[in-house]
Structure 1
Amino acid sequence: MSEEAAPQRREPAARGRVARTRQWFRRAGGRGGGHERDALITIGKSALAAGLSWYVANDVMQAQSPAFAPFSAVLIMQVTVYQSLLHSLRYVGAVALGVFLQGAFGLLGGPDLLTFVLMALAALTIGRWRPLGSQGSNVATAAFFAFSAYLSATSTGQGFMQLGQIILLVLIGCGVGVLVNVLVLPPMRYRSAESGIQTLGKTLSDLFGDIHPALREGELDEERTRHWRRRASDLGPLTEQAQSSVRTAWESMYYNPRRRLQRHHGRASFTGYQALVDALERVTYQVASMTRSFDQWHDGDSGSEHREFLSGYGDFIASLARITELFSRIEEEELPQRSQEACSYAQEAQQSHERLAEFAKESSLPLADPSEPYGILIGEATRLMDEFQYTCDVLKQAVDRPPACRS
């Protein structure tokens, strides 16, 4: 087995809001990363871009509406440098169109209610123009702000100067945002297809690592299961992010200064990213269903069979945690080793599942009673095992394929 594997937690996680907050920051600072670390990186980069934009707009330019610059900088902070550039161009285009509409209507009709309504109709219509994409709504937003700025001007000339300043501030904000995205931890490694799988695997491993010690101790209280269910619901956006990272991994190679400094710019041996993410996506569905069953069940029997069932289920979840922990460290150069370890861990998980199913079958637990979800949990464990076995098979098949260019 890999000597790099993180030791599994033996004690249940502490409860309470303060304890959960500490756990969140501990996961964010962990070696394996995860969506908590990505969130902190995005927050830090966005705050840096906003601060620099505000300094330029307010302290250097002394603009009348300096907030346009930091707002623009944060808005275009996207997951890849390519997308930041694309969204910047669309956003600047949308703002320019909105400001131009206000200038035209203001010049022709003056700052009155009828002019505003006509301008709004034109801006909302143009905002549906396909090339503007998701930034189309900013045509109307820019037009409304421009109308307000134009209305507060003391003369027509000053009004047009303020409209031009809005466009300049937006350009400054977008420029600063793109520069920060390029120069400060450019989002290539932790938003690549490989790292999308790592983040999803790390988050699943952390969740399983919280569940199995509590099940082994028989601590199935409402606060704990509600927390599991909430964290399982966060897996959906992470899965979408991993899917998106597979589809757009090539984007991170464009305009990124780090692409020639890292080893991931050549040919890749792992061609199964999409299949692996698809398999993990089905796993997240089963995890959400499992945590929902636990969260809806707080009046279970306190007898020895009940506690033994929970302990066996905890052993099964612990075996799955070892597999997901492998996915959190997956790298092209180590795929053969990771594939062997995953297959070995899958066999151990299969054995834990068989022991759990055999115990449940021979016990007197009400497996057919829908109010006592023993049978439901056994079914979910079976589906989880099937999906993890398929996931490991996908990984093995990817290793056995000949090298192909990363798409």
Structure 2
Amino acid sequence: MSMRLRERVDERLGDPIWWNDVLQLAKTVLAAVAAWVVASSVLDVPQPFLAPWAALLVVHATVYRTFSKGTQQVAATVVAVLLATAVGETLGLSTTAITVLLVVALVLGSVPWLGAEATTIATTGLVVLTTGFDDDVMLISRLYDTAIGVGVGLLVNVIVWPPLRRRTAAQALDRIDDGIGELLLDMAAGLRDAAPDEDVAAWIDRTRDLDEDLDQAWALVRVAQESARMNPRRSARPMKNPKEWLGLLRRMEQAVAETRSLARTLGGQQAHRATWGEAFAVPWISMLRDTGQAASDADPAALLDVRRRLEEFSEDLRSTDRSPEWPIYGALIINLRNIVDAMGEVADANPIGGNRLPIRIPQRRA
């Protein structure tokens, strides 16, 4: 195995989010197989195909969604069984019966209470209609199958390591603060080399990308919060009201907005380094670079040091400099100060995502 492939495999093996997805997949398979075994071998239900089908429907990414969304899907399955039986008893198994079934199923699926489960009603109804609807015993059997699958799916998802989406959201937050730090470092490097307007436009576009990452992180935190509801795990309690994470997201939103404002100021006609003078450009660009490095390293002490240097620098300029570029100086200093303050709180909270799992491919001894 090549070194690069080994590193990629080791990275995946040590990723707790990947293992969380693997566990969820295994639980889904376990629920479906267990429902089949219970229905076919233990309870001896004839044609027990609806049991694993219902189990698959109710195993969701969170326990809360298992109950809320699963209830809608189970209701849709029951409606489909009853609809298929009624259509079959009235029209038999024919093209007309299938057409009527699909039309009615899609209409019922648009009812808000069923949660837009049109596909579930249609597919389940088709299976029931084409595999048997002859008598009341068969109808009861179909509903019995569904109940078995629902019960097994709920038990598996709640009892077997109930999902907690904390690490997924934490990784998203970690990725954003790294992205902010990398952008600040690139801006500092570009300014040292007299960045052209194309670089400034690229910096602004990267802040928009960070905004998209923030939107995704907000969504993931909400999923993590939902995953803590009705979750019996002790580690789920702090996630029921993740005030700290919500505060960090707001701070990173502020840092991204300030970085965009800073980039727009740098792109102005009066903001080129040649017009600043080296007395301002050299120390300010150095502090911008150190801010990016401290944000990437999640180093609150380094950010605090930049804050101190920035205050001293501002005081020195106020007492000695009479440059006409003062409006630009003030805007750049305020933007950088706000970024430092926002990222300082983020750095204090690190590490957000916890440690990687100590799982690696065994090394072959010589």
Query: Deviations along 1:180-236, whole A, 9 cap, x unmatched?
Result: 442xxx528658xxxx6x6565223321343344445449898x9677754552121
Query: What are the within-5 Å matches in structure 2 for residues 122-271 of structure 1?
Result: 122-125=108-111, 128-129=112-113, 136-138=115-117, 140-154=118-132, 156-157=134-135, 160=139, 161-162=141-142, 164-166=144-146, 168-182=148-162, 186-187=163-164, 190=167, 199=171, 201-218=173-190, 230=209, 232-242=211-221, 248=225, 252=228, 254-258=230-234
Does the C-alpha gap of structure 1 residues 89 and 120 become closer, same or farther in structure 2, counting only changes over 3 Å?
A: closer
Match of 2:77 in 1: 95
* Structure 1: distance between partners of 2:277 and 2:56: 55
Query: Deviations along 1:312-351, whole A, 9 cap, x unmatched?
Result: 5574264266368659xxxxxxxxxx8xx59835724845
Specify the SS of the correspondent of 2:232. coil
Match of 2:353 in 1: none
Query: Deviations along 1:94-148, whole A, 9 cap, x unmatched?
Result: 43344334444444454342343234323423xx12xx6xxx112x222101221
5+ long unaligned stretches in structure 2? 41-46, 349-366
Does the C-alpha gap of structure 1 residues 153 and 310 become closer, same or farther in structure 2, counting only changes over 3 Å?
A: farther
* Structure 2: distance between partners of 1:317 and 1:98: 62
- Indicate conservation of the 8 Å contact 1:54/1:70, yes or no: yes
Query: What are the within-5 Å matches in structure 2 for residues 284-363 of structure 1?
Result: 285-286=256-257, 289=260, 315-316=287-288, 318-319=290-291, 322=294, 344=304, 347-348=307-308, 350-351=310-311
Specify the SS of the correspondent of 1:100. helix
- 2:25 corresponds, among 47, 50, 59, to 47
The amino acid of 1:233's aligned partner reads: E
Match of 1:389 in 2: 341
Aligned Cα RMSD in Å?
Answer: 5.8
- Indicate conservation of the 8 Å contact 2:258/2:335, yes or no: no
Specify the SS of the correspondent of 2:234. coil
- Indicate conservation of the 8 Å contact 1:102/1:147, yes or no: yes
Instruction: Please report the TM-score for the alignment, with normalisation by the length of structure 2.
Output: 0.57
Match of 1:68 in 2: 53
Structure 1 residue 257 displacement after superposition: 3.5
Structure 1 residue 165 displacement after superposition: 3.4
**Percent of pairs identical after alignment?**
13
The amino acid of 1:211's aligned partner reads: L
Does the C-alpha gap of structure 1 residues 153 and 137 become closer, same or farther in structure 2, counting only changes over 3 Å?
A: same
Does the C-alpha gap of structure 1 residues 378 and 227 become closer, same or farther in structure 2, counting only changes over 3 Å?
A: same
* Structure 2: distance between partners of 1:239 and 1:306: 41
Instruction: Please report the TM-score for the alignment, with normalisation by the length of structure 1.
Output: 0.52
5+ long unaligned stretches in structure 1? 1-18, 31-36, 328-337, 368-374, 397-407
Structure 1 residue 149 displacement after superposition: 0.4
Does the C-alpha gap of structure 1 residues 243 and 116 become closer, same or farther in structure 2, counting only changes over 3 Å?
A: closer
Query: Deviations along 1:373-399, whole A, 9 cap, x unmatched?
Result: xx7x99688446436536869999xxx
The amino acid of 1:124's aligned partner reads: S
* Structure 1: distance between partners of 2:13 and 2:263: 28
* Structure 2: distance between partners of 1:353 and 1:395: 23
